Amino acid sequence: MKLGELIKPERVSLNLRARTWAEANREVAELLREAPEIADFPAFLEELLLVQGSGQFWFDGEVGFPHVRSAHVNSLVLAAGRSREGIVAQEGQPPVKLVFLIGVPKQFHTEYLIAVGALARIVQEAPSRGKLLHVKDAAEFVSLIAAAEQKV
């Protein structure tokens, strides 16, 4: 599984308008509304918001990885968003500027961990994260992730 194949330019928003973590999850999830990997988008979104509302998410610095394992997801799916101002996901933590939303089928046990691990290795390095925070378009965002994945 390659991140460059999972993330597509049409599933990247570089201008999130969300001000809250719930709004950010909803806005990035909307990029997947027509995704063939999701069998029932409204049910998927409801599960995602329920899980994320319970505080079960993972983030590191300026990067958040909201996710949900769902029976409404047929295969691993990924969308991303960028907020220049940042979104407070948890009090006392830095604002999240990059959101990588992952939908995972219930039966997938390791695929999510592999995807998050690869993304985390890419964005933990300040130069890679900085480039993603300043790209001009979604195609460049995807290209940077694919290129960085080759190095890690």
Its pTM stands at 0.92
What is the domain partition of the chain in residue ranges?
Answer: 3-151
Residue segments in the chain with a per-residue pLDDT below the cut of 70:
1, 53-60, 152
C-beta of residue 99 within 8 angstroms of C-beta of residue 78: no
Task: State the pairing for strand pair 96-105/67-70.
Answer: parallel
- Virtual torsion, Cα 110, 114, 116, 122, nearest 10 deg: 170
Q: What is the pLDDT of residue 4?
A: 81
Rg (Cα) of the chain, in Å, rounded? 14
29-39 per-position pLDDT tens digit = 999 999 999 99
Task: Give the model's pLDDT for residue 117.
Answer: 85
Dmax of the chain from CA atoms? 38
Per-residue pLDDT reduced to its tens digit, 70-93: 999 999 999 999 999 999 887 777
Axis-axis angle for helices 111-123, 126-134 (nearest 10): 90
Q: Which residues contact 64 (CB under 8 A, 6 or more apart)?
A: 21, 24, 57, 58, 87, 89, 96, 98, 99, 100
Which fold would CATH assign to domain 3-151? Mannitol-specific EII; Chain A (3.40.930)
Question: Which pLDDT does position 142 carry in this prediction?
Answer: 95
User: How far is it, in rounded angstroms, from Cα 77 to Cα 37?
Assistant: 6
